[in-house]
Structure 1
Amino acid sequence: MSIAESRASLDDVVHSPIRFSVLAALSSVDSATFQTLKDALDISYALLSKHSAILEDAGYISIEKSFIGKKAQTIFRLTGEGEAAFTKHVKALQDITTGLK
């Protein structure tokens, strides 16, 4: 695949550094809490909320809200579609970084 073809296959939803980081983090675990992701990525609540909503709308993550006692908890999970999109995006980046052959 050429560099141009690889670049064209990059996913605009995944390409954002924050969304890419969220997907990378979730690809290594079954699920993660909002607080865990916020801390791991060192971003604000608002920024994580904004980008997680974009990923959820794209079908790349699922978000489950529940309560433990009176405390709200939000759990994020990577969907099959999200895993496929992330894998394809990473492959395109790897192909681009090989440069000219």
Structure 2
Amino acid sequence: MSGDDRADGREPVFETGPRLALCALLQGADWVEFRTARDMLGVSDSAISKHSRTLEDAGYLEVRKGSVGRKPRTWFRLTPSGRDALRGHLDWLAQLRHALDPN
């Protein structure tokens, strides 16, 4: 995990902007193209760029750049540590929900 390796699973990097949604999208795929991620999340190019950089800096996201024909393309995928951090954060959220509403 990034930062201070929280034992409870909470990962603050997922708590700002569409980062959690981006990771949730990526958990079920190998590589996802930038435009697909942008369109599925309903955010701007600059928002995807900013949040993907934060996730990449945390070691949770791998970015691949290339081209299709003559058009540049960018693809994303979760790293193994990104998958682990996402799983831990989702478990933490489930525990929090249960603690707030045990029924």
Q: CA RMSD in A?
A: 1.6
Structure 1 moving runs of 4+ over 4 Å: none
Match of 1:29, SS state, is: coil
Give the 5 Å matches for 1:1-101. Answer: 9-99=9-99
Paired residues, what number?
Answer: 95
Aligned to 1:3: none
Higher relative helix content? 1
Q: Secondary structure at the match of 1:65?
A: strand
Give 2:60's aligned amino acid.
Answer: Y
User: For the residues of structure 2 that align with 1:87 and 1:18, how far apart are their CA atoms?
Assistant: 16
Question: Residue 10 of structure 1 aligns to a residue in which SS?
Answer: coil
Alignment partners' CA distance in 2, 1:16 and 1:98: 22
Does the CA-based 8 Å contact 1:14-1:85 persist in structure 2? no
Under a length normalisation based on structure 2, what TM-score does the superposition of the two structures give?
0.86
Q: What is the percent sequence identity of the aligned residues?
A: 35
Q: CA deviation at 1:51?
A: 0.2
The Cα of 1:90 is off from its aligned counterpart by: 0.2
> Which runs of no fewer than 5 residues in structure 1 stay unpaired?
1-5
What TM-score, normalized to structure 1?
A: 0.88
Alpha-carbon separation, structure 1, partners of 2:55 and 2:78: 9
Distance in 2 between residues matched to 1:35 and 1:74, nearest whole Å: 8
Q: How many Å apart are 1:16 and its aligned residue? A: 2.0
Q: Greater relative contact order: 1 or 2 (C-alpha under 8 angstroms, separation 6 or more)?
A: 1
Structure 2, unpaired ranges of 5+: 1-5
In 1, the alpha carbon distance for the partners of 2:99 and 2:19 equals 25
CA contact (8 A) 1:65 1:74 kept: yes
